[in-house]
Structure 1
Amino acid sequence: MTSLVNVYGKCGAMEAARKVFDHLPKRNVVTRTSLMSGYVHNSQPEAAIQVFIQMLENGSYPTNYTIGVVLNACSALYDVKMGKQVHGYVLKYGLEDDTSIGNSLCNLYSKCGGYLDRP
């Protein structure tokens, strides 16, 4: 079922992806990340962030790939505030050495550089 969510997302059929996701008896970090990735891929980064927030509220822990997806959603929205919160999570859990996360953080801060809070 996760593969189906992934395929629908890659094909731009996010309503179908969400319908499959909503009917899953168990949702894990992989299914949630697939849905998030589909939303980002289809220019719906707000929806990806909502799935991420729900995932955290449900007690699921994101993978490194999940963090990269949510950082890409933040970049697409120029949401440096949310990006900084995710960056804090990265630092708290010692994920800063992951290359893909580092690349996503560079992308976020380079896109949002003009939006950073300045002292």
Structure 2
Amino acid sequence: MNQQDQSATVHPEEIRLNPDKDQLTVTFPDATYTLTAEMLRVTSPSAEVQGHSPSERVTVGGKRDVKITRIEPVGNYAVKLVFSDGHDTGIFSWSYLRKLGVERDEIWQQYLNELAEKGLSRDK
């Protein structure tokens, strides 16, 4: 396992939801990432969003105003995020949260491109 793989499995020191419930800040020993509720919702690792293979992945639009209503620990490796639209099946592992933080700009741009290609909007 290389150093990047090892750091990806490190438990965050803190996970904090802002008062508006639209941003989650994840602090690892070496980095802090702020992720929007919208990004977390549309990139949820759930089968509902990701499908069971890359060809089944769904582009989810209309989530600009989604909030995170609850954060539930899952063992010592992840959290389950519950969203204001009722979505609650995504288990966000520490390594997935780190990936979203590290690759945030690229992932977000890919999402925006997919919305445009499919004629979808961030608004309802």
Same fold (TM over 0.5): no
TM-score, length basis structure 2: 0.26
Q: Which structure is higher in RCO with an 8 Å CA cutoff and minimum separation 6?
A: 2
TM-score normalized by structure 1?
0.27
By percentage of residues, which structure has more strand?
Answer: 2
The structure in which a higher percent of residues are helix is 1
